[in-house]
Amino acid sequence: MAVLVWSERDGILGNSIHSGRRVALSAEEYRSEAEALDLQLDEALDMAWHALTLITRRENGKARFDTLEQAWVWGRAIHVLGVMRRRGMIGERKILLWQALTAKAWYGIRSDSTRDQRWRELIPSKSRKWLTQPTDIDAYRFLEIGYWVREDSLQQVGELFCWKFSNANDLFDRTSLHSVELRRAILHWIQHQDGKVRRFLGTPIHDGKRHALIAKALYKHFPAKGPGSALLPQHYPEDELRSIVWEVLDSARDAYFS
Amino acid sequence: MKFTNTSSHMVQEVTNIIDGYKMGSMRALAQEPVQNALDAVREGCSTVEVEYRLLRRRDDDGKPCFLLTVSDKGTTGLRGDMVSNKELEARNYQLKPEENWAAFEAQGYTKENEDALGSRGQGKAAFLYHSHVPPGETRRMAMLYDTLLECGEYRLGMRYARPVDQILSPPLLNAEAQAALQRDFFLLGDLNVPLRLKPLCEVGTRVIIPFVAEEDALEFRPGSELERWLQRSWWRAIQIGKLRIRVVDEDQQSETEIGVPKWWRDLPRENSPTPEGRWHDLPDGCRACVWGDLAFGNDYKFRRLVMLHSDSLTEDEIVRDHPEYSGIQVMRGLQWIETRGARQDFGDYIPPDKRPGFRGYVEFDKRTNSKLRAAENSQHDGFDARGSKGEIVRELRAQLDACTRKFSAEMGWETAPSITTQQVSQREKATLTRFVETFLNQNGRKLGQASTKGGQEGTRLLWDCNLDLDYPDPKSTRVDWGQSIRHVNVEVGFEPGEDLVGSADVILEWVDESGKAQELCRREDAVSKQWGKDRVQNRFELGDWQILRGKARQEQQIECSVPGECKLRAVVLYRAGRVKSASRTVYVQSEPPPPPEKNPVTLSISAVNISADDKKRIDHGEVLQLQINTKNRSVEDVNYCFTASFNAEDHAIARRQPITLEGTPAGELPIRQVILSEKRRLFDPEQNVPLPLDGVPTLNMPESSGKYTISADLHDENDDVVAHASCPVYFQRDPGNARNNLPFEIEQQDQKAMWLMNEDLDLLTYSGDYPLYKQMKEVQSQRSALQGRLAFIAEISANGLLEWALKPKETGDDSHYDQLYDESRSHDLWDALNRGLENLSRTAESPIQFAQTWRETVAVMLDIFARENN
């Protein structure tokens, strides 16, 4: 029910236990669980880093990190290792895990206090904000998105978002469009578009992104709040959802190309 | 020489007095002697001079020891007769203003034309505290004081706390005194005090503190702590030439004169500052603003308020807990009393990186000074803001707050991210909580007072009461004289069926146009528990009832001679309380108002944690009771499709399910129709699921913690949404802003409007600068629910609650409204509230009528709040 968050001050390592649960005196009472979880996070970070080194393209011997790939390896590793099902995470909000993971990756601290600076490559933003362990969930957007697409393969995620993290961000912004069923239906539609449309969707324009028309059109049909929000994509049978998505996206595409 | 004992344990007294100085003994020593000197300024002298002189001597064992002398010039000296204790007692402990010698020697007196502030021995204690008479098991203190008076008389007095208080009586006079001072040693009781001092040459007083501790002596030297305290306390008097202070170390042959802090030296002298404030740009990017003659509170006045900021200034504080320079120094007279701290008090307006360079001071006109003195503590290092005397202090602080905010805005600090909202007091928050708890009916089925709790998991007795009847015209509530209300049926239900203790009665009553109730019939012991049943439901057929203008001569007749809006009401009486009631409106011989045109059909959702006393958070294994209700205010029955979903579930709860909503006769309050009622036991996907025993359907949530939403839509035949409602569900997390089950929280914010409700309807804000709020008194001791500023909070809580309830109705969502509107509370003022709420739903088309109804409803709410909470 708690996580261990590492920190460093003047070169000296320290850690503290964070928990969203009610505690009697301090969250230290959960230290043993948090330390066990910390050990498992080493495994998750190793797995994510190895996956990242395999998929990252290199140009002139230098790695070209991609935020979508970085996000995906995080989510996949957490999912595969079942980190959320660990005792330390039960009943906790995800932000605590994000704090623990980013602090470990940023400082490169293993549970035995040895250092592994390679993990920093997993963090897309090299901002010094990680020193302050942000409490705003938006700071961990790449982790949220990575965990959101955890059930999809990298190829699916890449095709769905035209290999752009910002496109994933657009869809993630709209909370009614979060379901895996909808992602599958959109992917199905994209896979049936010709090369011209797929190139069009993957091209950013100066005042926005063309891929965003998918999110915008679908959000009109599946608003997150207000009238019409009672039925969400996951509440439709697969065939019906697929036909709605095709209908909505076809008309959005045609409206643009006509 | 003869010493007179007094009855006090002087050492303890001195220690207690000095411990009362929150900034320590050094501030006391910097403050008290100078204050005494300024109080005793001699006529014709424009400047008082005070000198702190550190001297090094050897005691009779040859060991080095230190003496501190504090002498003043330009004062009257310790004049006046010597008054013995006996005489003081005979004079009822009253001294004349000029009797300084007696005042310095005595304890516990008052002076004519003065308050009691000077009589507590603060000055004596400030000196004695630094004397450490060696050696001995008990702490001993000593001091000597000599004075040269205008008449040429020379006196030398002594005080010895061993620990019993002794004073030399009578003191040494003239030549004898001068000779004693010049001797190497002076025998003070059993003590040899090294002196070797020159007698005073000018009129004034000198206090000699022998046996100063070595570590203290270091702090008395020029450039050390004493000098810093002297500057903090007296720089303003020094700046305007009323005071000169020197610190001399005779041993090191160094001396320094206390000056004005550098940041105040640069500020140009301004003789006619304005209340609007005048800005000055000073060297090094320093900016200052000077206000003058600025009125505040009850005709009080700032003579001058100055604020200054420079990035080149660094923090210069001795005691970090209490601000000294960093903030606004409050000067009473020419003396620094306290500082309103840049961090502690103005942290909302001054960003952290600007606080070290922020300085300010404020001084007052004569009348305000004298009022402030009454609120000042005896240590002269703070004000008491409580009670009637503290009113001026509260006003002063509010005004300083306002001016600092202006200064901050002008400096462009308002956009600084560190600037936070102001604080709402605990009392104000408690008032909002009480207000909301008075009115809010969390799930539309709030308990009556007589209800009882069951044993398991906080389950409780939930009552239902419905009153059915047929009007002569099914589409109208109008009943003319001679006509009958037919088939009057009362249905009463409760659950759990085994938890009822004893039995309940059902009564039917008639409420006439003036609100007077008359019992028509009663069924005693009509409802009782039934073993083995979850829910008990009883139905009572009460027949037809005829309305008569004249006298009712038979049973089943109702006498009603005045036309108008009346009511037939069924009430459930349980353990001497009305736990539930239901009423139907009857317009006797008059036409009822038409139904509303806008949003005639509404939906509402209640999602309640029935396992844990209706707390908003739902934890693993707890049961969510979901109920979706609808109201049809139109006269006709309507057919719609109903869709509902819980976004934690893969399947919709209801999908395009056709429903028929019965119409409401014109003039009748719409009856809530339950279209869906379900329970779900929510489980954390990562925790073990216990074997379900009670048949409640289980739901594995998608994640361990999160905010989910239940949504419902009503569609017409064109698939247009005619009503929508949604309700949040907090699974294993606390609701964001609105904790403690409050629908919204309260905060102070810089805004023009009296109150504002945010878009998400979870934050009510008001302005601390709102004229009405400012004029109302802060409540120190609460005697009634509507008192001072708390009345203001109640007023905006009522308004906020109405907006919170009515705004979702724009999309046909009654979820909030149903928590405020409670037909079971259908007597006196509650009835007026229900009627007001229903009128607000009806009159939305006419803004003026809407505003009038709103005001009336707020007034009713305040009446109810006062009655229920006083």
Task: Specify the pLDDT at position B336.
Answer: 92
Instruction: Give the span between the Cα atoms of B642 and B322, in whole angstroms.
Output: 64
Give pLDDT, residue A196: 85
Cβ–Cβ contact A20 with B under 8 A:
yes
- Return the structure tokens found at B524: 């005693």
Contact B713 A234 (CB under 8 A): no
Q: Do B686 and A89 touch (CB under 8 A)?
A: yes
Q: Where are the domains of chain B?
A: 3-250, 262-420, 453-592, 593-739, 745-869
Q: Chain B residues contacting A, CB < 8 Å?
A: 619-620, 643-645, 647, 649-652, 655, 684-687, 703-706, 709, 711-713, 721, 724, 726, 732-733, 811
Give the whole-number percent of chain B exceeding pLDDT 70: 91
User: Is the model's pLDDT at B419 over the cut of 80?
Assistant: no
Burial class of residue B399 (count of CB atoms within 10 Å of its CB; 0-12, 13-18, 19+):
buried
Q: Please give the average per-residue pLDDT across A226-253, as a whole number.
A: 92
Lowest mean pLDDT among A104-108, B671-675, B757-761, B822-826: B822-826
Rounded to 10 deg, the angle between the B426-439 and B789-806 helix axes is 40
Cβ atoms of residues A222 and A244 within 8 Å: no
pLDDT recorded at residue B293: 87
Domain co-membership, A144 together with A165: no
| CATH code reported for the domain at B3-250 | 3.30.565
DSSP-derived secondary structure letter, B310: -
pLDDT for res B448 = 38
Give how far Cα B259 sits from Cα of B239, B246, B249, B264, B332, Å: 8, 10, 17, 10, 19
A126 and A243 in a single domain? The answer is: no
Beta bridge partners of B507: B522, B571
Q: How confident is the model at residue B458 (pLDDT cuts 50, 70, 90)?
A: very low
Q: Which whole number is the average pLDDT over B836-863? A: 86
Chain B residues lying within 8 Å of A85, measured CB to CB: 685-686
* Closest alpha carbon within chain B to A147: B703
Mean pLDDT of chain B: 83
Distance CA A147, CA B652 (A): 25
Same domain, A80 and A204: no
pLDDT at A186: 95
Domain boundary among the residues A103, A127, A150 is at A150
User: Considering chain A, what is the average pLDDT of its residues?
Assistant: 87
- pLDDT band for B8, please (50, 70, 90 cuts): low
Instruction: Please tell me whether residues A203 and A230 are part of one structural domain.
Output: yes
CA distance A122 to chain B (A): 24
Q: 173-192 in A: which are within 8 Å (CB) of B?
A: 176
Residue of B nearest to A91 (CA): B704
Which of A86, A117, A150 is at the close of a domain? Answer: A150
Instruction: Out of 3.40.190.10, 3.40.220.10, 3.40.630.30, 2.60.40.10, select the CATH number for domain B593-739.
Output: 2.60.40.10
> What percent of chain A has a predicted confidence (pLDDT) above 70?
97
For residue B720, give both structure tokens.
Answer: 């247009």
With tokens 């969930």, the residue in question is A137
Residue B52's pLDDT is: 93
Residue B713 to chain A, least CA–CA distance (Å):
6
End position of a domain, from candidates A118, A150, A182: A150
B193 strand-pairing partners: B186
**Through-space distance between the first and last CA atoms of chain B, rounded to whole angstroms:** 69
- Residue A221 pLDDT class (50, 70, 90 cuts): very high
Distance between the two ends of chain A, CA-based, in angstroms? 55
**How far are the Cα atoms of A196, B281, B441, B516, B824 from residue B831, in angstroms, in the given order?**
67, 64, 15, 12, 9
Q: Could you give the number of structural domains in chain A?
A: 2
Residues of chain B positioned with their CB less than 8 A from the CB of A230: 643-645, 652, 711-713, 724
Residue B422 has pLDDT above 50, yes or no: yes
pLDDT of residue B447: 38
Domain boundaries, position A173? 153-258
Give the pLDDT band (50/70/90) at residue B799: very high
Confidence of residue B446 (pLDDT cuts 50, 70, 90): very low
Pairing relation of β-strands B557-559 and B545-548? parallel
Give A56→chain B minimum CA distance, Å: 30
Between these two residues, B605 and A86, which has the higher pLDDT value?
B605
Element (H, E) at B371: helix B366-374
- Look at A91 and B687 and tell me if their CB atoms are within 8 Å: yes
Quick one: B776 exposed, middle or buried, by C-beta within 10 A (0-12, 13-18, 19+)? middle
Of the partner residues A91, A176, A228, the one whose CB lies closest to the CB of residue B732? A91
Closest CA to B247 of B67, B52, B35: B52
Question: Of B378-392, B443-457, B716-730, which has the strongest mean pLDDT?
Answer: B716-730
**DSSP-assigned beta bridge partners for residue B50:** B72, B245
Set of chain A residues whose Cβ sits within 8 Å of the Cβ of B647: 176, 232, 234
pLDDT in tens, A15-46: 888 887 777 778 888 888 889 889 999 999 99
pLDDT over threshold 80, residue A97: yes
Query: Does residue B97 have a pLDDT over 80?
Result: no
User: What is the DSSP secondary-structure string of A98-142?
Assistant: HHHHHHHHHHTB-TTS-B-GGGGGG-S---GGGGG----GGGGHH
The answer to whether residue B113 scores a pLDDT higher than 70 is no
Does residue A22 belong to the interface with chain B, where contact is any CB pair within 8 Å?
Answer: no
User: Domain B453-592, what architecture?
Assistant: Sandwich (2.60)
Q: What is the pLDDT of residue A223?
A: 92
**Interface contact flag, B705 A231, Cβ < 8 Å:** no
- The most confident of the ranges A99-113, B314-328, B762-776 is A99-113
Is B94 a residue whose pLDDT tops 90?
no
**Confidence check: pLDDT of B93 > 80:** no
Highest mean pLDDT among B422-426, B572-576, B797-801 belongs to: B797-801
* Predicted TM-score of the model (pTM): 0.56
Calculate mean pLDDT across residues B415-442: 70
Flag whether pLDDT at A206 surpasses 70: no
Render pLDDT for B45-71 as a digit per residue (tens, 0 to 9). Answer: 889 999 999 998 888 777 888 899 999
- Highest average pLDDT, of A16-20, A104-108, B190-194, comes from A104-108
Q: Is A234 on the interface with B (CB under 8 A)?
A: yes
The pLDDT of residue B455 = 33
| pLDDT at A192 > cutoff 60 | yes
User: Between residues A228 and B81, which one has the greater pLDDT?
Assistant: A228
pLDDT of residue B3: 64
Least confident of B484-493, B505-514, B701-710: B701-710
Nearest Cβ partner for B713 among A20, A227, A234: A227
> By three-state DSSP, how is residue A257 classified?
helix
pLDDT at residue B117 tops 70 = no
pLDDT at residue B445, rounded to an integer: 39
Kindly state the tokens that stand for B106: 């005595």
Mind listing the pLDDT tens digit for each residue in B694-739?
Answer: 778 888 888 878 888 999 999 988 888 899 999 888 888 777 654 5
Residues B731 and A93: their CA atoms lie apart, in Å, by 10
pLDDT at residue number B451 = 36
pLDDT band of residue B811 (cuts 50, 70, 90) is confident
B593-739 and B453-592 share a CATH fold: yes
Measured between CB atoms, which of A92, A226, A230 is closest to B705?
A92
Say which residues have a Cβ less than 8 Å from residue B368's Cβ, sequence separation at least 6. B300, B301, B302, B392
Q: Using CA of residue B414, residue B416, residue B417, residue B423, what is the dihedral sign? A: negative
Residue among B485, B480, B668, B477 at smallest CA distance from B582: B668
Residue B23 predicted with pLDDT over 50? yes
Mean pLDDT of B287-305: 87
Residues A257 and A217 in one domain: yes
Percent of chain B with pLDDT over 90: 18
Inter-chain contact A234–B705, Cβ cutoff 8 Å? no
**Predicted confidence band at B160 (pLDDT cuts at 50, 70, 90)?**
confident
The sign of the dihedral angle between the CA atoms of B772, B776, B779, B783 is negative
- Note whether A203 and A248 are same-domain residues: yes
Query: Which among A63-77, A199-213, B332-346 has the top mean pLDDT?
Result: A63-77
Ramachandran bin of B734, using left for φ above 0, alpha for ψ from -120 to 50, beta for the remaining angles? beta
